[in-house]
Amino acid sequence: MYVGEKINLYGGDKMSVIEKGKKFYMSDFVTIMHHKRKGPDDGNYKHYHDFVELVYTIGGKCVHRINDVDYSVKGGDMILINYNQSHTILGGADTEYFNVLLKPEYISMGLINQENAFALLDLSDFEDFTKILDESRTKVTFSSDERDSIERIISVIQREIEEKNPGYDLAIRSELNLLLIMVFRKMSLAIDEGFEGINEKLLLYIRQHSGQKITLEEIAKKCSYNSSYFSRIFKEYTGTTFRQYITDIRMENAALLLENTNRSITTICSEVGYSDQTKFFTHFKRTFGITPLQYRKSKK
């Protein structure tokens, strides 16, 4: 897993991540790795680690299976994997991503405290943070502007690691704080009660909850609008209707799961938000011009 075209370490020049019996251990407090996959992963390599892993996807698509739950990702998505959680990757040919590996004690003691990043989630220590990860608030998605910021932060950390100028450890710590603040802001979205109009924050909420039962009336209420007004301004903002917007997201997720997992079509139908299989098949064929089974065969 931890073999990339470029590997940068904070804390030493030697490889700090070693494997023992399908569990990875890290000697340094922080390790950053840059990967460019040349072929797909078959998903058979289930492993564990003694550190927290943040996987930020730059480009391509794949599926992360964490504690037997699948998360489809593409450019701009970040997956958070707690220590001792099982993890494997499915698909992912030509996927490019960064791994940011953090020792739990570094997060708890050396990096953040209640006065800064943890306060965004009402957390007092690392143990509270692990509970959030265990509750499956595991995936966050960044907008195009946010992606620029995320990738700038990672670039700065890489440069500090490589050049090791005076104070580089403090610079790295500061940039990691900024990175985690951006991640925590996205995680806090899951517990927001409402939204100020139609914006990228609302669209991200819809995307993250597209696999559940979600209605125009429910979302309009979160914005304090009536349904008819919300429907009109939603179409003005997105260029499509609310119903079609949800359908497009579900079809995108279904295609990713069909291509990168061996899950049954019935299971995928349910996972992306359909209780009616006939409607799922109708929408899929209307979107892609072929059935889900034909789509899977064409990708395999």
Q: Is the model's pLDDT at 291 over the cut of 70?
A: yes
The reported pLDDT for the residue numbered 46 is 87
Ordered by where they begin, the domains of the chain are: 6-191 (2.60.120.280), 200-299 (1.10.10.60)
How far apart (Å, rounded) are the C-alpha atoms in residues 99 and 77? Answer: 12
pTM attached to this predicted model: 0.61
Neighbours of 134 (CB within 10 A): 12
**Listed residue (37, 35, 33) closest to 15, CA to CA:** 33
Residue 147 has pLDDT above 80, yes or no: yes
Note the pLDDT of residue 137: 62
Highest mean pLDDT among 15-29, 40-54, 88-102, 229-243: 229-243
pLDDT digits (tens, 9 = 90+) for 22-58: 889 888 888 888 888 776 666 678 889 988 899 999 9
